[in-house]
Amino acid sequence: MEIRARAPGKIILAGEHAVVHGSAAVAAAIDLYTQSSLHLPLPGEDGAGEVEVDLTDSGLAFSWPCSRLLEALGETCRKAELQAPRPCSPEELAAIARLVELHEIPEAKIWLSAGLSAFLYLYTSILGCRPGKVVVSSGLPMGAGLGSSAAFSVSLSGALLMAAGVVCAEGAVAGTEWQLLGKDHLELVNTWAFQGEKIIHGKPSGIDNAVSTFGSMIKFKKGELTNLKSGNPVKMLITDTRVGRNTKALVAGVSERASRHPDAMASVFHAVDTISEELSSIVELAATDEIAMTSKEEKLAELMEMNQGLLQCMGVSHSSIETVLRSTLKYNLVSKLTGAGGGGCVLTLIPTLLSKLVLEKVTTELESHGFRCFKVEVGGQGLQLHQG
């Protein structure tokens, strides 16, 4: 039996950093996915008696004998209460870490350890010690602020919960083999994925896994999520600068600046909040003709430009980001960083009337700097599954 699940990455359209200080932020799914394929031996088939995970993008595979998992995790390695995910206890996390340490992970990919721990927690909590193999592949760059870890947790949780018979598809994505889950089942997947995200990140906001699960766009403010319905397709060019950054250090830097200049930074955060609220309203407007669409896109571009200026005030831009801004401005296109800043990815709004030739020129120039570019549609479907 094979179950495949794919979950999208995400971008932050407005509000990063300021959201930590009470402002609204707007996040959206993009049509770049992480896919988890779960292969389970049928009753009577010969199985290796192992739980395996093949990370195709990293060229690495890991496996654990089911007997070893049961010995290490004891009762926690038996099927849990699937409708009420429990947090991973410190004792269980320590036991899982020892299981991960049985494998030699290359130093350059040591960050995989947290993902493997989340994998073992989710697999054993949902399926117990049943033998199986998971193959993971992704169109998302890792560690670039596009929600790759959340897409991994969501796609894995969806596949495992379907295998356990707890969730099932309720509708199809037109013209594809993929199927969708109902709201209640998506809520359950999201809750499990959030537990995986906590193992990977410690104290995640929950935004990334929510967007990856439900798709579309959301407004997030002070812990409250509001679903937004995009009235028209929005297209972006994502530029991955390939510059790594320390998210915790960048967040701390903004907080330190706010403590040094409390009044000025309070005004910055208030301005970002206003931008996020206005952007939320604009994306839900339905433009019925070319003139209305152009007007809508111009307003979105202005808000993105203002938000980028405020992010520069917060001190989270970077020379690589500024290079993208200058390159796209030559073609009258507006860009802003997305996520933590300090490198990472930059968004460029692609107007509906932009010619393919101009887009090719922009992309070529950006790639000449060593950057990677992805053209995406914003606000699409969330988790999708296929059983075969």
List residues with catalytic annotation: 208
Encoding tokens for residue 173?
A: 């994505």
DSSP string, 303-314: HHHHHHHHHHHH
β partners of residue 169: 181
Would you say 219 and 278 are in contact if contact means Cβ atoms under 8 Å apart? no
Per-position b or e across 8-36, b if 16+ CB within 10 A of its CB: bbbbbbbbbbbbebebbbbbbbbbbbbbb
Q: What is the rounded CA–CA span in Å between residue 14 and residue 306? A: 10
Phi, psi of 2 (to 5 degrees): -125, 135
Phi, psi of 216 (to 5 degrees): 60, -140
The closest of 304, 314, 312 to 336, measured between CA atoms, is 304
Phi, psi of 64 (to 5 degrees): -140, 130
The closest of 206, 240, 224 to 276, measured between CA atoms, is 224
DSSP structural state of residue 46: -
Q: What is the rounded CA–CA span in Å between residue 24 and residue 150? A: 21
Q: What is the rounded CA–CA span in Å between residue 368 and residue 32? A: 23
Strand residue runs (E) in the chain:
2-14, 25-39, 50-55, 60-65, 132-138, 169-172, 179-181, 217-221, 224-228, 234-240, 335-338, 345-350, 372-378, 384-387
